[in-house]
Structure 1
Amino acid sequence: MNCLQVARVMQAYLDGETDEITARRAAAHLEDCRRCGLEVSVYQEIRNALARRAEPDKQALQRLQAFGTSLLSNYPAGEDGTENRAEPPTGT
């Protein structure tokens, strides 16, 4: 898998909702790619922080949404010069 492919399945992977083959391929990429591994760590830290709170405050949610939007808008360009943007996460 490459970075774009991992970005597309990252939320499902973190939620344990991918098939075994996809999970293995994503895990292998995350072991080798420092950038993607760091992104997964950030997602996990956010998830853990939100889980510790009974109910997240509205300002925290707004900051989190702004952070997520900034990640998507700063996704690096591909080899052909087009922007490789991950699809926004759905669900959780």
Structure 2
Amino acid sequence: MRKIVLAVATASLAVPLFPAFSQAEGHAYNGRIWQDSHGRYRCKRPDGTVGLIIGGAGGALIGRAIDTKGERATGTIIGAAAGALVGRKIDRSRVKCK
């Protein structure tokens, strides 16, 4: 029984590797920079999701602290939206291709 479980676990770890080999045909991949099928060099860039989440949370806290009158929901919502936009822009502007 132990050998069967180990065999199944090993096979399940090897399965995700096979599609990676078939997708690499015709493309030279070297870490963050690769050459596409047209010969142009491409660079892996962040999509801004982390900056969006962190910026939204930080903006909500700052907006809530600034809006001290009433129920404070308006300041929280506007701060979250502004913080998310700024955080996404900062995260997407960081390109580390060399």
Task: Name the TM-score, length of structure 1 as normaliser.
Answer: 0.28
Query: Which structure is higher in helix share?
Result: 1
Task: Name the TM-score, length of structure 2 as normaliser.
Answer: 0.27
Relative contact order (alpha carbons < 8 A, sep ≥ 6): 1 or 2 greater? 1
Rg larger in structure: 2
Query: Which structure is higher in strand share?
Result: 2
